[in-house]
Amino acid sequence: MGSLDTPTTTENHGSTQGGGTYDGGDQKPPVSANGTAPRFESMESEASRKRRASILPLEVGTRVLCRWRDGKYHPVKVIERRKMHIGGPNDYEYYVHYTEFNRRLDEWVKLEQLDLDSVETVVDEKVEDKVTSLKMTRHQKRKIDETHVEGHEELDAASLREHEEFTKVKNIATIELGRYEIETWYFSPFPPEYNDCLKMYFCEFCLNFMKRKEQLQRHMRKCDLKHPPGDEIYRSGTLSMFEVDGKKNKVYGQNLCYLAKLFLDHKTLYYDVDLFLFYVLCECDDRGCHMVGYFSKEKHSEESYNLACILTLPPYQRKGYGKFLIAFSYELSKKEGKVGTPERPLSDLGLLSYRGYWTRVLLDILKKHKGNISIKELSDMTAIKAEDILNTLQSLELIQYRKGQHVICADPKVLDRHLKAAGRGGLEVDVSKLIWTPYKEQG
């Protein structure tokens, strides 16, 4: 007599009676005449164990499928590995890069998140790099730019490999800044004494950083800053902008660069911040002015750069602050009587924000303007560099080349369609609230 939880009939699994077939499912395997189970199951598990033993621990460079936070398996490449403190000789954690996604999603994973049946043969990285550099097609280069090397368009192959080798593993997993705990995206070269620190604590006003919560609490009792050091040059409602001179506030400028590097893959970390001005955007309340994001610019730029680096901190993204920072940089250029352009290379998110800003500003003017207008006139009105205007209008197919000159074709229906696709414009800069003197006139 069978057990109560064993069905007497099955659907699409064959019979469990007598010598019928066994297709798996929820049924128990058939037994032989002497009452022993067939050997194919134990042979299969033995083969699986042998394969597992032969590939573990996984080598750096191995490609395998990994279960991500969406519960699905995605292809990854093992970037680094580390021995676990407790466990056997093959117990490692693996730092992986999801080949479909940006490097900001790289992370440490446990062995059980990996599908070992999907392990691919490890390719010699040096050989792979050499073959890639010799045979990479234009499409492949563009594909790489769109995935894990966004923002590195101006680096040659050797520099790119050196950059990725040096920054391949995130050294800080999370930071605490004000009331937010934020997961970091990239490596940042903090001083060596912070090498063993997975979480760091920042003072949200002076940006000093510490290893432990207790240190931060002691610091906050002594720190008398309630806003970034520097001059408040803009206040509209709860939004404030502070101009911080890197020469006058060197430690703050360096700390800001350390913080920003955790979220910007392409950023070169400048220890000599004397040459830069930092414009720090804050949300203000009765507790103080809390940093939302910032942009920096060189005090003297021969290439007409009006922005060197831009970042909106993750808790404040998708709220229009990035577009506000871009618009603010152009308002400063107008005050200076110059045209400006951002320093290249731009990060992937920075490029998207700039394309959106240029599109909306130019289309708004074209929609309202009656009669012909030249690229030079658009540049004078907006402080956007002529090359950026030309590239934007060409990407929207709003410009043609006739009789040796560029002609703007502004059909109202086409403009409306592009404006709708560009989305909302973000927060507006109220120029009447900007009180600022250009740096060259301050001296």
Query: For the domain with range 49-115, which CATH number is right: 3.40.50.11390, 2.30.30.140, 2.40.50.140, 3.40.30.10?
Result: 2.30.30.140
Active-site residue, selected from the candidate residues 176, 298, 343, 387: 343
The verdict on whether 303 is a catalytic residue reads no
Q: Dihedral (C-alpha) 351, 355, 357, 360: value to the nearest 10 degrees?
A: -170
Backbone angles phi, psi at 384, to 5 degrees: -85, 135
Q: What is the largest CA-CA distance in the chain?
A: 99
CA separation for the pair 420, 413 (Å, rounded) = 11
Tens of pLDDT, residue by residue over 121-133, are 655 444 444 334 4
Say if residues 277 and 198 touch (Cβ distance below 8 Å).
no
* Cα separation, 260 vs 255, whole angstroms: 9
The DSSP secondary-structure symbol of 77 reads E
Positions in the chain short of pLDDT 50: 1-29, 124-155
Which tokens is 79 given?
A: 């970037």
- Residues near 66 by beta carbon (within 8 Å), at least 6 away in sequence: 73, 74, 75, 76, 96, 98, 109, 113, 114, 115
Fold: same for 49-115 and 348-425:
no
- The domain segmentation of the chain, as residue ranges, is 49-115, 170-345, 348-425
The pLDDT value given to residue 74: 95
Per CATH, which fold does 348-425 belong to?
Arc Repressor Mutant, subunit A (1.10.10)
Q: Residue 244's pLDDT is what?
A: 98
Cα 315 to Cα 434: distance, rounded to the nearest angstrom: 26
Q: What is the pLDDT of residue 348?
A: 77
Phi and psi, residue 298, nearest 5°: -70, 145
pLDDT value, residue 103: 85
Task: State residue 325's pLDDT score.
Answer: 96
Q: Could you tell me how far CA 398 lies from the centroid of its own chain?
A: 31
| CA dihedral sign, ordered 114, 118, 121, 127 | negative
Q: Which pair of tokens denotes residue 349?
A: 């998110």
The answer regarding whether domain 170-345 maps to CATH 3.50.50.60 reads: no
Distance of alpha carbon 111 from the chain centroid: 25
Minimal CA–CA distance to 442: which of 235, 206, 241, 247?
Answer: 247
pLDDT for 345 equals 82
User: Which residues, at least 6 apart from 320, have a Cβ–Cβ distance to it below 8 Å?
Assistant: 424, 425, 426, 427
Q: Please, which residues bridge with residue 298 across strands?
A: 276
- What is the pTM assigned to this prediction? 0.72
Q: What is the C-alpha separation between 198 and 345, in angstroms, rounded?
A: 29
